[in-house]
């Protein structure tokens, strides 16, 4: 379970049951009689029996609501699974991860599939993943697809009498709508909690070490705890409108703030993984200002803080061809008001590649209309890897590295054999997925079994492995009195 840590401790003041009664009463749905009040200290046997008979025969909106929730739980429970994965972590013993998932179907492929969070099964071999069904059966997936940028994984399963849930439309869900969160918190399978949608469009969450760029979370107060990751968020029609993925917590447990990936995103990712094996994402070629604040907005003469501030426009990119400039603020994208840089990233990456988009930018205290044609994000490597400054290396953005071809002179200065060849690592970004495995002055010698001595070699090797979620890198590292080789696994 991803935990989005809060800086200040919080106290949970309202329980779902109390909230539900309050909402139902406030809306006039439940009417409680006041002329037949009872006190526990004056009930005799006859009165007790009468009250029991009344409770068993008289219906109420609250009882009907309770029956509806029970019906939804009965309908969806057979499709909710518990997932256990066991993986080896470099330099450590085996690590176990538990989570939840939901069985669904897709129009893009036949059969049954479990949708869960990518971090639940990340870096885990197929044979080390077990899927526990509601009836006690345990299955192993036949194949796994994963998309790190949305934290969605899809596992193909096969077996008799499987039951699939149905997708709902998260775009029709409003704040205040009631929902159920299902899964296996703390390994307790078939658990159901109740709450409401507290907010929509939550972004800018730091989800552990993951690089989730598509952030548009639903926020709910339905109890979500460790082990709920990957479980479904269900609406009152019994349909999946979210995949539970994280909690905001100062204690590590539920504090009434949970986050779910909306179904319109999760379903799209699932369908594209099954149809294409990857999730194509659009790209415009800019670096955005993550620290854009009121002070900067005021300096640019904006009426309020909104939009996405451009810090850099990459050469030979869609943005440069469209005329986007440094210090522009993107106000609208395809007719949608841009709230912040994460919002623009989400809008761009989920738009069709090749589509011509109209944008409005703020420049020189004026609104400027622009038109831009979106490119494939996978082409980012090829269009923006020219050295930013002479002799300072070339950025390899998917890896978060700046590298430079190694020659004999450089090799000797760094303690390598003069004949050593590869790409010298000059810088490792703070957000690089390899920052814990690589060091400055390491030599990248090979990707898989393919030697890489130039940028063209590296681009070709990365292209050849573009469909692989994990890639082996061969690294040489100086260790006096001699250099040594090691293998590193890059989880894309």
Q: Cα–Cα distance between 216 and 219 in angstroms, integer? A: 10
CA proximity to 410, closest of 398, 399, 422: 422
3-class DSSP string for the chain? CEEEECCCCCCCCCCHHHHHHHHHHHCCCCCCCCCCCCCHHHCCHHHHHHHHHHHHHCCCHHHHHHHHHHHHHHHHHHHEEEEEEEEECCCCCEEEEEEEEEEEEECCEEEEEEEEEHHHHCCCCHHHEEEECCCCCEECCCEEEEECCCCEEEEEECCCCCCCCCECCHHHCCCCCEEEEEECHHHCCCEEEEEEEEEEEECCCCCCCCCCCCCCEEEECCCCCCCCCCCEEECCCCCEEEEEEEEEECCCCCCCCEEEEEHHHHHHHHHHHHHHCCCCCEECCEEECCCCCHHHHHHCCCCCCCCEEEEEECCCCHHHHHCCCCCCEEEEECCEECCCHHHHHHHHHCCCCCCEEEEEEEECCEEEEEEEECEEHHHHHHHCCCCCCCCCCEEECCCCEEEEECCHHHHHHCCCCCCCCCEEEEEECCCCCCCCCCCCCCEEEEECCEECCCHHHHHHHHHHCCCCCEEEEEEEEEECCEEEEEEEEEEC
Residue 481, preceding bond cis, omega within 30 degrees?
yes
Q: Cα–Cα distance between 454 and 101 in angstroms, integer? A: 43
Find out whether 204 and 340 touch, Cβ atoms under 8 Å. Answer: yes
Please give the radius of gyration of the chain, using alpha carbons only, rounded to the nearest integer. Answer: 27
Q: Cα–Cα distance between 298 and 401 in angstroms, integer? A: 34
Find out whether 240 and 218 touch, Cβ atoms under 8 Å. Answer: no
Residues involved in catalysis: 119, 151, 229
CB-based contacts of 13, cutoff 8 Å, min separation 6? none
């Amino acid at each position: 379970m991803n935990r989005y840590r809060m800086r200040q401790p919080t106290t949970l003041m309202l329980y779902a049951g109390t909230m539900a009664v309050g909402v139902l009463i406030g809306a006039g749905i439940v009417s409680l009689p006041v002329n037949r009040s009872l006190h526990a200290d004056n009930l005799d046997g006859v009165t007790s029996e009468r009250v029991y008979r009344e409770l068993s025969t008289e219906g109420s909106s609250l009882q009907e609501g309770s029956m509806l929730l029970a019906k939804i739980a009965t309908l969806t429970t057979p499709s909710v699974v518990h997932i256990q994965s066991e993986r080896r972590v470099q330099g450590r013993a085996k690590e176990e991860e538990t989570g939840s998932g939901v069985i669904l179907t897709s129009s893009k492929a036949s059969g049954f599939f479990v949708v869960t969070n990518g971090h639940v099964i990340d870096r885990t071999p197929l044979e080390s993943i077990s899927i526990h069904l509601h009836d006690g059966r345990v299955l192993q997936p036949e194949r796994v697809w994963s998309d790190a940028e949305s934290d969605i994984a899809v596992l193909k399963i096969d077996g008799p009498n499987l039951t699939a849930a149905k997708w709902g439309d998260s775009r029709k869900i409003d704040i205040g709508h009631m929902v159920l969160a299902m899964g296996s918190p703390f390994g307790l399978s078939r658990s159901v909690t109740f709450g409401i949608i507290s907010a929509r469009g939550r972004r800018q969450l730091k989800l552990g070490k993951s690089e989730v760029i598509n952030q548009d979370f639903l926020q709910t107060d339905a109890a979500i705890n460790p082990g709920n990751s990957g479980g479904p968020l269900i609406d009152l029609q019994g349909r999946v409108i979210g995949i539970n993925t994280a909690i905001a917590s100062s204690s590590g447990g539920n504090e009434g703030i949970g986050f779910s990936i909306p179904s319109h995103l999760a379903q799209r990712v699932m369908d594209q993984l099954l149809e294409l094996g990857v999730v194509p994402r659009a790209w415009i070629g800019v670096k955005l200002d993550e620290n854009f604040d009121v002070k900067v907005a005021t300096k640019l003469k904006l009426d309020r803080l909104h939009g996405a501030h451009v810090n850099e426009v990459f050469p030979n990119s869609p943005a440069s061809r469209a005329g986007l400039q440094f210090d522009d603020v993107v106000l609208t994208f395809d007719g949608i008001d841009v709230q912040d840089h994460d919002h623009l990233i989400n809008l761009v990456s989920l738009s069709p590649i090749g589509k011509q988009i109209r944008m409005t930018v703020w420049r020189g205290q004026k609104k400027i209309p622009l038109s831009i044609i979106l490119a494939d994000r996978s082409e980012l490597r090829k269009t923006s890897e020219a050295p930013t400054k002479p002799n300072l290396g070339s950025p390899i953005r998917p890896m978060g590295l700046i590298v430079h071809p190694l020659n004999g002179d450089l090799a000797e200065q760094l303690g390598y054999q003069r004949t050593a060849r590869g790409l010298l690592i000059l810088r490792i970004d703070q957000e690089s997925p390899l920052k814990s495995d690589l060091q400055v002055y390491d030599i990248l010698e090979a990707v898989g079994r393919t030697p890489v001595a130039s940028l063209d070699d590296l681009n070709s090797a990365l292209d050849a492995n573009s469909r692989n979620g994990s890639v082996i890198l061969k690294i040489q590292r100086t260790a006096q009195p001699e250099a040594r080789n090691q293998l590193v696994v890059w989880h894309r």
